[in-house]
Amino acid sequence: MGELSLKCKVSILISWALVLTCSAAKQDYFFHSGNLTWEQARNHCQVCYQDLATLTPENIQTIAKEQNITSDCWIGLRKNFDYNSTSNSSMPWSRWANGDPLLFQNWYPGWPVFRSSLPKRYCCTCQGTSQDATSLTGLAEETTENTTNMSNFTDQTVTDSTGLGESIQTVTDSTGFGESIQTVTDSTGFGESTSQNITPITAAPTMTTQPPAEAGCVPILDLSESDTNFIEDSCVAMLSFGAWVEKNCWELLSYICYEDRFCGEVTMTDRTSDSAVLTWEPGPGDISHYRVEVRVNKTLKTEIQTKNLTYKPVNLTGGTGYSVQVFPVKCGRDLNPQELLFYTTPDKVSNLTATIVTETSVHLSWNRPAGNVDFYLIKVQDTDWNKSKTESQGVDKLTPGTCYTFTVISGVLDGSTWSEETSIELYTKPGKVSNLTVSNNTMNSLQLKWVPPEGRVTGYRVVALNDRNHILYSETEETPEKKVTGLPMGTKITLRVSALTNGTSREGDTTTVVNYTAPGPISNLVLNSTYNSLTAKWSPSEGNLSSYTVKLQLDGTLVTTANNVTKLMKHFDGLMNAANYTVIVYAISGHIKSSPVADSTFTKPSPPTDLIVINTSKNQITFQWKAPVNISKATYSVKINSSFWKYSKVETLYNKTSYTSEGLISGTKYDFEVRTITTPEESSDPVTVSNCTEPDKREIGLSMLCSSAEILLCDTTTTRKSVFEQLKAHFNNQLGDNIFWELEEN
């Protein structure tokens, strides 16, 4: 219902086709030159038209002018019709052939002609009784005699003898024959005129005209006057200039027929896109058949003849305006056609698709249907119809992510018929989510949050990608937040969120955010310290790391932070000795820190300084050193060692800075080592010094016997030297500088 009214609204905008009208009550006249008797002519007119022409003041001009009447012709008037034997209308000149009353006459002067002898007989023999005679008729009460000056009316007396009463004394020119007879015209049009001066009082020849017997009149035939123009049963012919005369009905003349113009209507039912049923009204009279002409744009498409009053044209083209004319054919003549312009139903559009779909707009296109179409109407949901002349239409101001039904119908110019609907349902694209943020970055998860877009959304698709665009995670979610899990550690993650509608089938534009998972903690943290420096080394954590952050704390207080450390070690200098330092290492990925890994260590104590030997004897050595700075009371570990004698002795000294080693072997080199000790495990680097006890010299003779296969070889100097060098090397090897010795050759 609503749809229909909308369609109607549109059709108001459409220019309506030409309205076909048929002016009813118009008569057409047909002049036939030929030679038929009045009866034959009338018969022909009745068969092929309506009847012989009835003349009126209105049509006489037209007929006379347009029909080019070249000769006398019959019209639909005769003196006596035997219309209906039972009716009383047998008065002469009273009716036209079609039964119309004779309201108008246009006699040529002198007509109609009456029999002259009858009245003369009555009047001329009954002297002085003319009054009686006239009164007997009961029709004429006054007689008027007069003559005219006109040439051919000179001797005629025109009498009002219609018997229609005194009142009709007015003399009117209603014949159109000029002033010459102005005084003598009977306004009723039924006047009789005689050619005699003597007034006849009878009304009509056919009426009772018996002379009154009591008057004693003796009719005497008076044949002195001529009756040549008198015709007993005359028919009326029209002269070519319009005036009427009586003629014998058997004369062969031309004739004029008339016919009421036929006005009928063609109606169209059962309209489809390729056919319609046409029905029309029957034509008047004896219609031989109907000729149906079907035109498109004035081009004749089909022409058929049928006796039926319906016709069903088939194989029509949809959406086309067909103009139909149905001509009733009578006597081989086309009557005024019944006409109709109708449109076949246009075919429905096909392949309706949405070519562009955005969040708020849709561009539709479709295929033009076979056949013709003048325009299309497009409807979105239940809104108004929009008109389009082309096979596409953009629709905007839609809500994102919402299901819409788009309907297209095709129409024709006059809006009288519409094609079937073609519809598609589709979802507009959902909007883009906004304010996408990441929080709670862990080693394998990220917490996402976002603001839902405008319009309708049934869910979201959340996708996580790594740098090489491998999908790490893809899930849908209904609420605007999601914990993305199962991610690799310490990795740059691209996160995409798109809104979904119609389940998951329609997806909006994606919003992207980049963030990092937290890297894993480092491992194998090893600290190496000296008395004033510390070196931390570690193994890398999992993931793509950008750097490390290393923090140094002393007794829980931050000493320094090293950012952007890219090597797997960090060296700290200038530290306090013998202090408990803590090193904390974070791996960094993006801006995300791993969980910390920490270790603590003490820096070493400072070694003593200025270790010197101050006294040496044969069996003891005394040495001294200075305590390291900032140590008031220190413990020292002193080690005395002689590798030669495999002698080693360790002494722990408390708060002494000198030491005398006793019971030593003379002439031996001793190594001394002194360390500062803080805890049993921690001691400082050693300071060392070496010294020899005084030698207690003894001489030992060595004699060597030389024997040789070669004569006198032993006696040569070179050999002796060589042997001596070998011997020296041997002693050096055995003793080194560990004890005092000298080798001399004698």
Binding site for ligand NAG (CB under 6 A): 33-35, 66-68, 83-84, 86-87, 144-147, 151-152, 306, 308, 311, 314-315, 350-351, 367, 403, 425-427, 434-435, 437-441, 447, 451, 502-503, 505, 513, 515
- In the bound state with ligand NAG, the residue whose beta carbon lies nearer, of 331 and 729, is 331
Q: Least distance to ligand NAG from the beta carbon of 385, Å?
A: 21
- In the bound state with ligand NAG, the residue whose beta carbon lies nearer, of 35 and 732, is 35
Q: Least distance to ligand NAG from the beta carbon of 136, Å?
A: 22
The alpha-helical segments, DSSP class H, found in 428-511 are none
- In the bound state with ligand NAG, the residue whose beta carbon lies nearer, of 211 and 453, is 453
Would you tell me how many other CB atoms lie within 10 Å of the CB of residue 481?
Answer: 14
Residue 138 corresponds to which tokens in the numbers above?
């009961």
C-alpha torsion sign, points 702, 708, 712, 718: negative
Query: Closest by alpha carbon to 202, among 157, 244, 162?
Result: 162
Q: Least distance to ligand NAG from the beta carbon of 213, Å?
A: 30
Q: Is 132 helix (H, G, I), strand (E, B) or coil?
A: helix
- In the bound state with ligand NAG, the residue whose beta carbon lies nearer, of 146 and 708, is 146
- In the bound state with ligand NAG, the residue whose beta carbon lies nearer, of 78 and 604, is 78
Q: Which helix (H) or strand (E) holds 280?
A: strand 277-280
- In the bound state with ligand NAG, the residue whose beta carbon lies nearer, of 147 and 716, is 147
- In the bound state with ligand NAG, the residue whose beta carbon lies nearer, of 194 and 691, is 194
Q: Least distance to ligand NAG from the beta carbon of 98, Å?
A: 12
| Euclidean distance between CA atoms 252 and 257, whole angstroms | 15
**Widest Cα–Cα separation across the chain:** 237
Instruction: Give the nearest residue (CB) to ligand NAG.
Output: 84
Q: Is 720 helix (H, G, I), strand (E, B) or coil?
A: helix
Q: Least distance to ligand NAG from the beta carbon of 415, Å?
A: 27
Buried-state track 252-261, b at ≥16 Cβ within 10 A, e below 16: ebbbbbbbee
Residue 463 corresponds to which tokens in the numbers above?
């996708």
- In the bound state with ligand NAG, the residue whose beta carbon lies nearer, of 114 and 404, is 404
Q: Least distance to ligand NAG from the beta carbon of 211, Å?
A: 25
Q: Least distance to ligand NAG from the beta carbon of 353, Å?
A: 6
Q: Least distance to ligand NAG from the beta carbon of 223, Å?
A: 20
379 and 406 Cβ atoms separated by less than 8 Å: yes
Residue 272 corresponds to which tokens in the numbers above?
């489809």
Query: Closest by alpha carbon to 53, among 100, 91, 90, 108?
Result: 100
Instruction: Tell me whether the omega of the peptide bond preceding residue 680 falls within 30 degrees of 0, making it cis.
Output: no
Q: Least distance to ligand NAG from the beta carbon of 93, Å?
A: 18
| Euclidean distance between CA atoms 437 and 4, whole angstroms | 52
- In the bound state with ligand NAG, the residue whose beta carbon lies nearer, of 124 and 513, is 513
Q: What is the DSSP string of 531-562?
A: SS-EEEEEE--SS---EEEEEEEETTEEEEEE
C-alpha distances in Å from residue 602, one per residue of 41, 163, 552, 678: 150, 164, 12, 10
- In the bound state with ligand NAG, the residue whose beta carbon lies nearer, of 253 and 575, is 253
Q: Least distance to ligand NAG from the beta carbon of 448, Å?
A: 9
239 and 63 Cβ atoms separated by less than 8 Å: no
